[in-house]
Amino acid sequence: MSTFPDQFRLDGRTALVTGSARGLGWEMARALAEAGARVLLHGRTPERIAPGLETMRRAGFACDALAFEMADRAAMQAEMARGGPIDILIHNVGERDRRPFADIGADDFARLVDVDLTAAHALVRLVVPGMIERRWGRLILVTSIVADLAVPGAVSYIAAKGGLSAFSRALAAEFGATGITSNALSPGFFATETNAALLASPAGESQRLRCPAKRWAEPSEIAGAALFLASPAASYVNGHTLTVDGGVSATYLA
C-alpha cells in the first residue's frame, strides 16, 4: 500500500535538467536522483559535467550526461536521442547580459533570447511526443522573479525569462488533457557561483535587505520546489509559477 510520501518518488522516470553542472541545476538534479529518477545532467561540454556525473554515480544514483550548446540545435537533437525517452524536463539554462539597454544590440538580444527562451521550445518539441504517448510528463521552465519585477541593465534576460513564464502557461493549455503538466519555477536571490560577485557588492547587500528573510537563499533551497513540481504529488498543478524568493515578490519594500 502506497503512502503519501510515495507520491514524491520518481522511480522509473528519466529526468533531464539543463544547466546542471553546478548551481541551481545541480541541486535540482540531485534532488530528483535522490527521489529515484534516472537523471541526465547537461552542460556545454563533457568535461564540464564530468565531476557531477562522478559524484552522482559514486552515490549510487542512476545518472548519465548530455553535452551540447543550446544554440546548436543539431547537437541538441543528437544528444537528446542518445539520452532516451524523457519524462521530466527542467529547463534551467539561463545566460545573462548585464549591460545597459543602449549597449545591447539586436544580435546580442536575439542570441540571448535564443539560448534562454527559444531553446526551450526546441527541447519541448523533442520530449513532448514521447510524453503524450506515455500519457505522463512534467515540463518545468526555470524563470526568475525579474520576469515580473524588472531591474535596469538586464533587458534581454528579463525579456527571455518573461517569455518562459508565458510559454509555460501556453504549454499547460496545449497539453493539459494529455497527462503532461507544465509549470514555471521562479527563483529569487540565490547565492550561486554565478552570483558570487553580486552577492559581495553593495547591490547584493541591498537585495539581502530587500528580502523579508534578510538573507540570500542557499542553492539547495530550490530543490524541494523542483521535486514537488516533478512528482506525482503535483499531478493537478498546471500552468502555475511557483516562486521561491523568501517573500521578495510578496512585499512592498525598497
Query: pLDDT by residue (tens digit) across 32-43?
Result: 999 999 999 999
Percent share of the chain, pLDDT over 70: 98
Q: What is the value of pTM for the model shown?
A: 0.94
pLDDT given for residue 127 in this prediction: 98
pLDDT tens per residue, range 42-94: 999 999 999 999 999 999 999 999 999 999 999 999 999 999 999 999 999 98
pLDDT of 253 over the 80 cut: no
Assign 2 a pLDDT band (cuts: 50, 70, 90). low
- Burial (CB < 10 A; 0-12, 13-18, 19+), residue 125, is exposed
3-class DSSP state of 177: helix
pLDDT given for residue 254 in this prediction: 58
pLDDT given for residue 1 in this prediction: 57
Name the CA dihedral angle for 4, 168, 194, 39, rounded to a multiple of 10 degrees: 50
pLDDT tens per residue, range 195-211: 777 777 887 888 888 88
Better pLDDT: 229 or 189: 229
Q: Which of 26, 157, 167, 190 is flagged as catalytic?
A: 157
pLDDT of 146 over the 60 cut: yes
Assign 183 a pLDDT band (cuts: 50, 70, 90). very high
pLDDT given for residue 134 in this prediction: 97
Question: Has 157 been annotated as catalytic?
Answer: yes
Q: What is the mean pLDDT of residues 152-156?
A: 89
All three cell numbers of 231: 512528482
pLDDT given for residue 33 in this prediction: 98
> How far is residue 217's CA from residue 24's CA, in Å, rounded to a whole number?
11
pLDDT given for residue 204 in this prediction: 81
Give CA separation, 217 vs 59, 147, 225, 245, in Å: 25, 18, 13, 8
pLDDT tens per residue, range 157-178: 999 999 999 999 999 999 999 9
Instruction: Please name every residue paired with 120 in a beta bridge, in sequence order, or none if there are none.
Output: none
Tell me the average pLDDT of the chain: 93
> How far is residue 53's CA from residue 40's CA, in Å, rounded to a whole number?
9
- Name which of 3-7, 20-24, 238-242 the model is least confident about: 3-7
Q: Which domains does the chain have, with CATH numbers?
A: 8-244 (3.40.50.720)
- Name which of 142-151, 174-183, 229-238 the model is least confident about: 142-151
